[in-house]
Chain A
Amino acid sequence: MEAAPLLKVSKLYKNFGGVQAIQDLNFELVEGELLGLIGPNGSGKTTSVNLITGFVKPTKGEIVFRGQNITGRAPYKIVRLGIARTFQMVKPFYQLPAYKNMIIPLYSPRVKQMTGGKYGDRDAVALDLLEEVGFERDSHVAYKPASVLPQGYLKRLELAKAIALNPDLIILDELFSGLSLAEVASIVPIIEKLRQEGKSIIMIEHRLKELFRIADRVIVLNYGEKIADGKAAEVMESDAVKNAYLGFEA
């Protein structure tokens, strides 16, 4: 018998005007699982994340997190329950040093609640968190303004902002996009460490090779519909997936 799922999405629909962005999406996520969410461009991956995190309200359907119905709740309330996400387009405060960019998540009521009503020294906590995601302390890179940081560090910063909230579920929206192989290779251990800590993770990715190495399970979306769900190797063998990705029946 499996444990109750951490996240349960059932019969989810979203229309944008006449466009069916998401149709009848159903899936469950078990605690500690790393789920990959893949599909061609415009297949509804980011929309499903926006639905789960409350940035977009569903037309129909239900999202349950830890037994609580979170459908259509405000994003900040959903974050407080323990779901954090990163954005595909990173948009830090460019004029501020990297560690000052961490202040906003560290100002979160969720952080206050977890630390017993005290925020503590936010600057020090920010530097610790950034070190965890690979801002080497000796290099003083955390003190540099975000405007001069390479994309790899900006993505790490985005990840650190999510980790700062100590979420149970982390949703990573194309974390690897725009990164070199070496940069991806240096971020993978951070994600694996998060899993060891028992975090559940949903990753939207186009970098399938890197994703398949770490994902327990993969869901494939096409035109807002789930067309496959299972182990990475099995999923890629499915005809529907080949058709969606390659445009013909293999």
Chain B
Amino acid sequence: MGNAELNIGNRKKRRKERIDRGIKARSSDIFALSSWREMLYLAAPRLLPIVGLLVLSVALSVYWQRVLLSVSVFALLAISWDIMAQTGMISLGQALFFGTGAYLSGTMNHYWGWPPYITIPLATIFGGLLCTAFLIPVLRLRGIFFSMVTLVLPLMLVRIIEATRIFGGTEGLSGLTALPSKWVELYVLIIVLLAVLFGFRRMMNSDFGLVLKGINDNDRSVMNAGINIYWFKIQALFIASSIGAFAGAFLTHVYLFVGMPVFALDYSILPIASAVVGGIGTLAGSMLGAFILVPLSEILRGLGGLRIVFYGLFLVVFTVAIPEGIFHYIQRKYHQFERWVEVE
């Protein structure tokens, strides 16, 4: 429960006590099904992202609908980062997945003329396989050593494209096929985002997910159960890189262009910032973080050069004020109430 202890002015010690709300206790029981209020309590957290995204998709102006696309793409990257982090792989290079997916679908569309509904799924799967293959040799590295490699790989790929002038070199590939309409764009992305969120949240809470989290927590103990941790890491890596590759492939067909910027640092750093601001370890927190940071960046656009200063300031204030992440904070308030009790 994490009780905070501190001294107040009159030197009397008090501590914060957190107690589950009555409704939480009641709705964990079968009796929840006999009350609308309890059922809503259970369903609300799941309905909120679904209803929220659907309302946003129709209520927003065309400009903000484009922002919503970008937000959702970063949310996918943040979820992908979170899955890896929960398995003990701290990645500094979601851009590798994003860029690989983008270039794969761009290439298939540009050179072979394949339509997006073929290139996007293929880029998702083969992007996942390719990125997993890139990282398998370094899976044995732990902590910062693994992170360094993930940071360097996308930067290397950019230079390879620049130097060898493959895939359009510095110019990139333009004039790619668009998706049928902006509504298709929006709803395909929303559906995929929700499916990824709920599907992989379920996975991380299953026994399989427990093994993944176990690798992060105490890999020796998992090895000691006769489990090949590298095989499990490979599976998590494939899932995470496929999600990232989908994001890249999808956005390629929205921008109708793929070029070196897809390996930019933004695609690596912003997902991490989202996960940290939103809260690591729930996937929903990472998504929430993206839904705060990306629009914030848009709103601050009017500030010109000072934009990055305010953005940075916001990040610092948030991580200091709510280090656990916004999602964990909201989740706690939703399920528990707090009161001060005196300590003898």
* A interface list, Cβ under 8 A from B: 53, 55, 74-76, 79-80, 84-85, 87, 91, 93, 96, 100, 103-110, 122, 161, 164-165
Contacts and interface: CB of A to CB of B under 8 A. Distances in A.
Interface in B164-222: 207-208, 210-211, 213-214, 217-218, 220-222
A84 B220 CA distance: 12
Contacts of B223: 55, 74-76, 79
B207 A87 contact: no
Given A100-B210, A107-B211, A93 B217 contact: yes
Contacts of B208: 107
Contacts of B226: 76, 79-80, 105, 108-110, 165
A142 B14 CA distance: 32
B178 to A, nearest CB: 45
25 contacts: A55-B220, A55-B223, A74-B228, A76-B223, A76-B228, A79-B223, A85-B224, A93-B213, A93-B218, A96-B210, A100-B210, A103-B207, A104-B210, A104-B211, A104-B221, A104-B222, A104-B225, A107-B207, A107-B210, A107-B211, A107-B225, A107-B227, A108-B225, A161-B224, A165-B226
Contacts of B83: none
A76 B219 CA distance: 11
A76 B214 CA distance: 15
Contacts of A109: 226-227
Secondary structure at the B interface, as helix, strand, loop or mixed, is: helix
A76 B220 contact: no
Contacts of A105: 225-226
A76 B217 contact: no
Nearest to A80: B226
A74 to B, nearest CB: 8
B2 to A, nearest CB: 11
B270 interface: no
B214 A87 contact: no
B229 interface: yes
A91 B221 contact: yes
A35 B220 CA distance: 24
9 closest Cβ contacts across the A-B interface? A79-B226, A108-B226, A105-B225, A75-B223, A110-B226, A108-B225, A80-B226, A104-B214, A76-B228
Q: Which of under 10, 10 to 19, 20 to 34, or 35 or more describes the interface residues of B?
A: 10 to 19
Nearest to B213: A93
A230 B293 CA distance: 68
Contacts of A55: 220, 223
Contact of A122 (B207, B214, B227): B207
Contacts of B217: 91, 93
Contacts of B221: 87, 91, 104, 161
B209 to A, nearest CB: 10
Contacts of A80: 226
Nearest to B217: A93
A152 to B, nearest CB: 19
A120 B275 CA distance: 35
A7 B46 CA distance: 54
Contacts of B210: 96, 100, 103-104, 107
Given A80-B226, A87-B224, 6 more contacts: A76-B223, A79-B226, A85-B224, A87-B220, A103-B210, A109-B226
Contacts of A107: 207-208, 210-211, 225, 227
B218 A84 contact: no
A108 B224 CA distance: 9
B234 to A, nearest CB: 14
Interface centre among A105, A107, A108 (most CB of B within 10 A): A107
Contact of A108 (B213, B218, B220, B227): B227
Interface centre among A103, A106, A161, A164 (most CB of B within 10 A): A103
A85 to B, nearest CB: 6
Nearest to A81: B226
Contacts of A103: 207, 210-211
